[in-house]
Protein backbone atom coordinates (compact mmCIF):
# COMPACT_ATOMS: atom_id res chain seq x y z
CA UNK A 1 0.00 0.00 0.00
CA UNK A 2 1.23 3.44 -0.88
CA UNK A 3 1.82 5.66 2.15
CA UNK A 4 0.49 9.19 1.81
CA UNK A 5 1.37 12.03 4.15
CA UNK A 6 -0.18 15.47 4.24
CA UNK A 7 -0.49 18.36 6.66
CA UNK A 8 -3.57 19.82 8.30
CA UNK A 9 -4.16 23.49 9.01
CA UNK A 10 -2.67 22.91 12.46
CA UNK A 11 0.57 21.73 10.88
CA UNK A 12 0.10 18.10 11.90
CA UNK A 13 1.01 15.31 9.50
CA UNK A 14 -1.71 12.76 8.80
CA UNK A 15 -0.81 9.35 7.46
CA UNK A 16 -2.96 6.64 5.95
CA UNK A 17 -1.30 3.82 7.88
CA UNK A 18 -2.96 2.08 10.81
CA UNK A 19 -3.61 -1.41 12.15
CA UNK A 20 -7.25 -0.42 12.72
CA UNK A 21 -9.94 0.78 10.29
CA UNK A 22 -9.48 4.47 9.60
CA UNK A 23 -12.19 7.10 9.82
CA UNK A 24 -11.29 10.53 8.48
CA UNK A 25 -13.07 13.43 10.12
CA UNK A 26 -13.45 16.60 8.09
CA UNK A 27 -14.59 19.75 9.85
CA UNK A 28 -14.63 23.46 9.07
CA UNK A 29 -14.03 24.05 12.78
CA UNK A 30 -12.08 22.08 15.40
CA UNK A 31 -13.78 18.74 14.69
CA UNK A 32 -14.43 17.79 18.31
CA UNK A 33 -18.13 17.18 17.66
CA UNK A 34 -17.39 14.73 14.86
CA UNK A 35 -14.82 12.86 16.92
CA UNK A 36 -17.15 12.55 19.90
CA UNK A 37 -19.95 11.14 17.74
CA UNK A 38 -17.63 8.70 15.95
CA UNK A 39 -16.11 7.38 19.16
CA UNK A 40 -19.57 7.00 20.72
CA UNK A 41 -20.78 5.07 17.67
CA UNK A 42 -17.65 2.89 17.51
CA UNK A 43 -18.11 1.93 21.16
CA UNK A 44 -21.29 0.10 20.16
CA UNK A 45 -19.25 -2.46 18.22
CA UNK A 46 -17.70 -4.36 21.12
CA UNK A 47 -15.56 -1.33 21.79
CA UNK A 48 -14.50 -1.54 18.16
CA UNK A 49 -11.22 0.26 17.81
CA UNK A 50 -10.85 2.70 14.97
CA UNK A 51 -8.06 5.04 13.99
CA UNK A 52 -9.38 8.58 13.79
CA UNK A 53 -7.72 11.10 11.53
CA UNK A 54 -9.13 14.49 12.38
CA UNK A 55 -8.69 17.22 9.72
CA UNK A 56 -9.89 20.54 11.17
CA UNK A 57 -10.50 23.96 9.60
CA UNK A 58 -11.25 22.62 6.13
CA UNK A 59 -11.82 25.59 3.85
CA UNK A 60 -10.66 24.47 0.42
CA UNK A 61 -11.21 21.60 -2.00
CA UNK A 62 -7.58 20.45 -2.06
CA UNK A 63 -7.74 19.14 1.51
CA UNK A 64 -10.97 17.34 0.69
CA UNK A 65 -9.40 15.75 -2.37
CA UNK A 66 -6.36 14.57 -0.40
CA UNK A 67 -8.59 13.08 2.29
CA UNK A 68 -10.75 11.22 -0.21
CA UNK A 69 -7.63 9.74 -1.85
CA UNK A 70 -6.28 8.62 1.53
CA UNK A 71 -9.62 7.06 2.49
CA UNK A 72 -9.80 5.24 -0.84
CA UNK A 73 -6.31 3.78 -0.39
CA UNK A 74 -7.05 2.49 3.12
CA UNK A 75 -10.61 1.42 2.41
CA UNK A 76 -11.60 3.77 5.20
CA UNK A 77 -14.54 6.10 5.52
CA UNK A 78 -15.15 9.81 5.95
CA UNK A 79 -17.39 11.58 8.46
CA UNK A 80 -17.86 15.32 8.31
CA UNK A 81 -19.40 18.28 10.11
CA UNK A 82 -18.79 20.89 7.43
CA UNK A 83 -21.72 23.27 6.99
CA UNK A 84 -20.65 25.15 3.85
CA UNK A 85 -22.81 23.77 1.03
CA UNK A 86 -20.16 24.07 -1.68
CA UNK A 87 -17.62 22.03 0.28
CA UNK A 88 -20.22 19.44 1.25
CA UNK A 89 -21.24 18.93 -2.36
CA UNK A 90 -17.64 18.66 -3.51
CA UNK A 91 -16.85 16.07 -0.83
CA UNK A 92 -19.89 13.95 -1.70
CA UNK A 93 -19.03 14.12 -5.40
CA UNK A 94 -15.36 13.15 -4.91
CA UNK A 95 -16.21 10.40 -2.42
CA UNK A 96 -18.79 8.94 -4.79
CA UNK A 97 -16.22 8.82 -7.61
CA UNK A 98 -13.76 7.00 -5.35
CA UNK A 99 -16.41 4.74 -3.80
CA UNK A 100 -15.57 6.02 -0.32
CA UNK A 101 -18.41 5.82 2.24
CA UNK A 102 -19.34 9.19 3.72
CA UNK A 103 -21.45 10.14 6.75
CA UNK A 104 -22.90 13.62 7.19
CA UNK A 105 -23.03 14.06 10.97
CA UNK A 106 -24.61 17.52 11.09
CA UNK A 107 -26.92 17.31 8.08
CA UNK A 108 -29.91 15.44 9.55
CA UNK A 109 -29.90 17.59 12.67
CA UNK A 110 -29.68 20.81 10.65
CA UNK A 111 -32.57 19.64 8.53
CA UNK A 112 -34.65 18.71 11.57
CA UNK A 113 -34.02 21.96 13.44
CA UNK A 114 -34.60 23.90 10.21
CA UNK A 115 -38.10 22.41 10.03
CA UNK A 116 -38.66 23.25 13.68
CA UNK A 117 -37.61 26.88 13.23
CA UNK A 118 -39.03 27.05 9.71
CA UNK A 119 -35.93 28.75 8.36
CA UNK A 120 -32.59 27.90 6.81
CA UNK A 121 -29.41 27.52 8.93
CA UNK A 122 -26.71 30.19 8.74
CA UNK A 123 -24.13 27.68 7.49
CA UNK A 124 -21.31 29.62 9.12
CA UNK A 125 -18.32 27.55 10.31
CA UNK A 126 -17.27 27.68 13.96
CA UNK A 127 -20.45 29.07 15.55
CA UNK A 128 -20.32 26.54 18.41
CA UNK A 129 -16.73 27.52 19.09
CA UNK A 130 -17.74 31.17 19.23
CA UNK A 131 -20.44 30.29 21.76
CA UNK A 132 -17.83 28.46 23.82
CA UNK A 133 -15.53 31.47 23.65
CA UNK A 134 -18.37 33.70 24.87
CA UNK A 135 -18.90 31.35 27.80
CA UNK A 136 -15.25 31.39 28.82
CA UNK A 137 -15.12 35.18 28.49
CA UNK A 138 -18.08 35.37 30.86
CA UNK A 139 -16.38 33.07 33.37
CA UNK A 140 -13.19 35.13 33.12
CA UNK A 141 -15.14 38.35 33.74
CA UNK A 142 -16.90 36.86 36.78
CA UNK A 143 -13.60 35.68 38.26
CA UNK A 144 -12.17 39.15 37.60
CA UNK A 145 -15.09 40.84 39.39
CA UNK A 146 -14.64 38.60 42.44
CA UNK A 147 -10.88 39.11 42.56
CA UNK A 148 -11.02 42.88 42.28
CA UNK A 149 -14.16 43.52 44.31
CA UNK A 150 -14.20 46.19 47.00
CA UNK A 151 -10.74 47.54 46.14
CA UNK A 152 -8.95 44.34 47.19
CA UNK A 153 -6.14 44.73 44.68
CA UNK A 154 -5.63 48.17 43.06
CA UNK A 155 -3.60 46.58 40.26
CA UNK A 156 -6.84 45.29 38.80
CA UNK A 157 -8.04 48.83 38.13
CA UNK A 158 -5.67 49.18 35.18
CA UNK A 159 -6.87 45.88 33.68
CA UNK A 160 -10.58 46.53 34.06
CA UNK A 161 -12.99 47.47 31.30
CA UNK A 162 -14.99 49.50 33.81
CA UNK A 163 -14.16 50.81 37.29
CA UNK A 164 -17.02 51.63 39.66
CA UNK A 165 -16.40 54.06 42.52
CA UNK A 166 -18.69 55.21 45.31
CA UNK A 167 -19.47 54.98 49.00
CA UNK A 168 -20.57 51.76 50.68
CA UNK A 169 -24.05 50.42 49.71
CA UNK A 170 -24.25 52.04 46.28
CA UNK A 171 -24.56 48.60 44.62
CA UNK A 172 -20.97 48.40 43.39
CA UNK A 173 -20.63 44.65 43.93
CA UNK A 174 -24.04 43.64 42.48
CA UNK A 175 -23.34 45.86 39.47
CA UNK A 176 -19.90 44.33 39.01
CA UNK A 177 -21.37 40.81 38.95
CA UNK A 178 -24.25 41.78 36.67
CA UNK A 179 -21.88 43.37 34.16
CA UNK A 180 -19.53 40.39 34.42
CA UNK A 181 -22.36 38.24 33.05
CA UNK A 182 -22.25 40.57 30.04
CA UNK A 183 -18.57 39.60 29.64
CA UNK A 184 -17.28 42.93 30.98
CA UNK A 185 -14.39 43.01 33.44
CA UNK A 186 -15.32 45.31 36.32
CA UNK A 187 -13.36 46.42 39.35
CA UNK A 188 -14.82 48.57 42.10
CA UNK A 189 -13.40 50.82 44.78
CA UNK A 190 -15.21 51.92 47.97
CA UNK A 191 -14.62 55.57 48.82
CA UNK A 192 -14.02 56.23 52.51
CA UNK A 193 -12.77 59.60 53.87
CA UNK A 194 -10.20 57.94 56.15
CA UNK A 195 -8.72 55.85 53.34
CA UNK A 196 -6.92 57.54 50.49
CA UNK A 197 -8.13 56.36 47.08
CA UNK A 198 -5.45 54.22 45.38
CA UNK A 199 -3.14 56.04 42.99
CA UNK A 200 -4.04 53.53 40.27
CA UNK A 201 -7.54 55.01 40.22
CA UNK A 202 -6.20 58.29 38.87
CA UNK A 203 -4.28 56.44 36.18
CA UNK A 204 -7.42 54.85 34.72
CA UNK A 205 -8.87 56.77 31.71
CA UNK A 206 -11.85 58.78 32.97
CA UNK A 207 -14.15 57.26 30.34
CA UNK A 208 -13.61 53.85 31.95
CA UNK A 209 -14.73 55.01 35.38
CA UNK A 210 -18.27 55.41 36.66
CA UNK A 211 -19.04 57.33 39.83
CA UNK A 212 -22.05 56.15 41.84
CA UNK A 213 -23.96 58.47 44.14
CA UNK A 214 -27.19 58.14 46.11
CA UNK A 215 -29.71 60.21 48.05
CA UNK A 216 -28.53 60.55 51.69
CA UNK A 217 -31.90 59.62 53.20
CA UNK A 218 -32.16 56.49 51.06
CA UNK A 219 -28.60 55.52 51.91
CA UNK A 220 -29.39 56.00 55.57
CA UNK A 221 -32.35 53.62 55.28
CA UNK A 222 -30.31 51.02 53.40
CA UNK A 223 -27.53 51.11 55.96
CA UNK A 224 -29.95 50.85 58.89
CA UNK A 225 -31.42 47.71 57.36
CA UNK A 226 -27.94 46.35 56.78
CA UNK A 227 -27.04 46.86 60.43
CA UNK A 228 -30.23 45.10 61.52
CA UNK A 229 -29.40 42.15 59.28
CA UNK A 230 -26.01 41.95 61.00
CA UNK A 231 -27.62 42.12 64.44
CA UNK A 232 -26.12 45.53 65.20
CA UNK A 233 -27.74 48.67 66.54
CA UNK A 234 -28.96 51.16 63.95
CA UNK A 235 -27.28 53.90 65.99
CA UNK A 236 -23.85 52.84 64.75
CA UNK A 237 -21.75 55.48 63.01
CA UNK A 238 -22.18 53.57 59.72
CA UNK A 239 -25.81 54.75 59.52
CA UNK A 240 -25.29 58.17 61.13
CA UNK A 241 -26.60 60.93 58.83
CA UNK A 242 -23.69 63.25 59.57
CA UNK A 243 -21.28 60.46 58.69
CA UNK A 244 -23.18 59.68 55.49
CA UNK A 245 -23.03 63.32 54.36
CA UNK A 246 -19.30 63.36 55.09
CA UNK A 247 -18.76 60.23 52.98
CA UNK A 248 -20.84 61.55 50.09
CA UNK A 249 -18.93 64.83 50.13
CA UNK A 250 -15.61 63.00 50.02
CA UNK A 251 -16.90 60.71 47.26
CA UNK A 252 -17.96 63.72 45.19
CA UNK A 253 -14.47 65.23 45.45
CA UNK A 254 -12.81 62.00 44.28
CA UNK A 255 -15.25 61.55 41.41
CA UNK A 256 -14.65 65.13 40.27
CA UNK A 257 -10.92 64.58 40.38
CA UNK A 258 -11.27 61.42 38.28
CA UNK A 259 -13.53 63.33 35.88
CA UNK A 260 -15.85 60.42 35.17
CA UNK A 261 -19.60 60.19 34.53
CA UNK A 262 -21.85 60.04 37.61
CA UNK A 263 -24.95 57.92 38.04
CA UNK A 264 -27.45 58.52 40.84
CA UNK A 265 -28.53 55.04 41.90
CA UNK A 266 -31.34 56.30 44.16
CA UNK A 267 -34.50 54.22 43.60
CA UNK A 268 -32.85 52.38 40.70
CA UNK A 269 -32.75 48.61 40.32
CA UNK A 270 -29.36 47.06 39.58
CA UNK A 271 -30.52 46.19 36.06
CA UNK A 272 -31.53 49.79 35.38
CA UNK A 273 -28.21 51.20 36.55
CA UNK A 274 -26.33 48.49 34.63
CA UNK A 275 -28.12 49.44 31.40
CA UNK A 276 -27.06 53.05 31.86
CA UNK A 277 -23.47 51.92 32.42
CA UNK A 278 -23.61 49.70 29.32
CA UNK A 279 -24.83 52.62 27.23
CA UNK A 280 -21.95 54.78 28.48
CA UNK A 281 -19.56 51.89 27.84
CA UNK A 282 -20.75 51.44 24.25
CA UNK A 283 -20.57 55.15 23.49
CA UNK A 284 -17.02 55.15 24.83
CA UNK A 285 -16.05 52.50 22.30
CA UNK A 286 -16.15 49.52 24.64
CA UNK A 287 -16.83 46.10 23.12
CA UNK A 288 -18.96 43.42 24.68
Based on the fold, state whether residues 112 and 187 are members of the same structural domain.
no
At residue 9, the pLDDT reads 42
231 labelled binding-site residue: no
Counting the structural domains of the chain, the total is 2
At residue 7, the pLDDT reads 46
Based on the fold, state whether residues 142 and 104 are members of the same structural domain.
no
**Dist CA 173 CA 189 (whole Å):** 10
Question: Which segments in the chain show pLDDT lower than 50?
Answer: 1-13, 288
- pLDDT tens per residue across span 217-262: 999 999 999 898 888 877 788 999 999 999 999 999 999 999 999 9
123 labelled binding-site residue: no
At residue 121, the pLDDT reads 66
171 labelled binding-site residue: yes
Based on the fold, state whether residues 146 and 262 are members of the same structural domain.
yes
173 labelled binding-site residue: yes
Based on the fold, state whether residues 193 and 92 are members of the same structural domain.
no
Last residue of a domain, one of 117, 151, 183: 117
Based on the fold, state whether residues 72 and 199 are members of the same structural domain.
no
233 labelled binding-site residue: no
168 labelled binding-site residue: yes
In a domain, 270, yes or no: yes
In a domain, 288, yes or no: no
172 labelled binding-site residue: yes
Last residue of a domain, one of 61, 85, 117: 117
Amino acid sequence: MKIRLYRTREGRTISNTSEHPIIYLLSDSVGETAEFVVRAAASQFNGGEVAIRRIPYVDDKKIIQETVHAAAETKGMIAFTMVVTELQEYLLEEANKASVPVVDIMGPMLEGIGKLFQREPKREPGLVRRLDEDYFRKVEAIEFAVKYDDGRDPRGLLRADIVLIGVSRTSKTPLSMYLAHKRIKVANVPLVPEVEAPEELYMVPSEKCIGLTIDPDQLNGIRRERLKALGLTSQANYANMERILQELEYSEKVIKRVGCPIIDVSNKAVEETANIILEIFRKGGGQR
